[in-house]
Amino acid sequence: MKTFFDSTPRLTAAIAFFVALAAFPLLGLDFYNEMVARIIILSIFAVSLDLLVGYTGLVSLGHAAWFGLGGYTFALLSTQYKLSTSLWVTLPAAMVVTAFLAAIVGLFVLRTKGIFLIMVTLAFAQVFYFLFHDVQAIGGSSDGINLYSKPTATLGDVTVLDLQNPTTLYYFILIVMILVITGLSVLLRSPFGRAIQGIRENEHRMRSIGYPVFRYKLATFTLAGAIAGLAGYLFAVLSDGVNPELLSWHQSADVLLMLIFGGIGQVWGGIIGAFVFVLLKELLMSTTTLWQLWLGLIIVLTVLFLPDGLVSLLDRIKLLLGKRTHALLPKVTKSLSGRKA
């Protein structure tokens, strides 16, 4: 298991990465600030799926349902029914709603395994997709809901966060990602984290020694749904709108590809995968009409030559350099011995 606090070099690299993200708005590139903020949100989304796929062994092809529900919760509360635009109300509401619905769905889908789990999660996600596509009471339409205001964060008459300001919103999203990554890293080192990884490795053995396997899986499914809902909420706020495509299977497939790209079962895999996937997609779309073909080929090559994802690239380079050094060492020693003679 590789997490945020694995070693001093990894921690140093993580701090450097976050410092670079924090310094990025200082460059004054407003368009790219929004793109990086969007990638940060997708990183949170990818990490939430990795909690299921990489750490618990539960492959879901319907994870976008929770992503979209988080966004729609804010849209319904703030715009559709005009109940509240407060950050202190709408953000917890988005996470609670997605967590509750994930728990309900989990009661059914977690009784299946393998390909059946994949298909059942996809089926439930499509149910939510068509609800938000067709039912007008919850904003159902192919166009979705346009948002005309950001969440308000005030204490009394004091504005704590002005999320209308793009730079403030960027830093708020970045802080949320840091909190999520740090929290999950701590969780995965806790007894709960060890238990779910034991379930991934050998579910029958964990059950035989007395662990309530289904409860652990349901808790993980619920937590992953809540974090995905948080990401969806942030995405809606950043994009000033929601639409049913946020819940589509395409969105679920994209985030799964991000994990494959970056590395499954490693917290940084989701982050690296999100950044590389989105940036590579943007680059290919701007240079060729056959961008999907080239993106697919790159993903296939990554799976073939880096099955543990891009996050393992540095370890592979170190391993190759170590082998080369080990092979050259006897020759160097022999050469030095000859000179002394």
Q: Roughly what angle, to the nearest 10 degrees, separates helices 30-53 and 166-189? A: 20
Predicted TM-score of the model (pTM): 0.90
pLDDT at 67 over 60: yes
Question: Residue 4 has what pLDDT?
Answer: 47
Fold category of 8-289 in CATH: ABC transporter involved in vitamin B12 uptake, BtuC (1.10.3470)
Nearest Cα residue to 169 out of 215, 233, 236, 237: 237
- The pLDDT tens digits for 22-37 are 999 998 888 899 999 9
Buried b / exposed e along 203-216 (16+ C-beta atoms within 10 A): beebeeeebebeeb
- The pLDDT tens digits for 269-290 are 999 999 999 999 999 999 989 9
Share of the chain above pLDDT 70, in %: 90
Query: Across the strands, what pairs with 266?
Result: 2
- Alpha-carbon distance of 107 to 214, in angstroms, equals 9
Contact yes or no for 323/316 (Cβ under 8 A): no
Distances (CA, A) of 75 to 86, 133, 268, 318: 12, 14, 30, 48
Domain limits, the chain: 8-289
- The pLDDT tens digits for 159-177 are 999 999 999 999 999 999 9
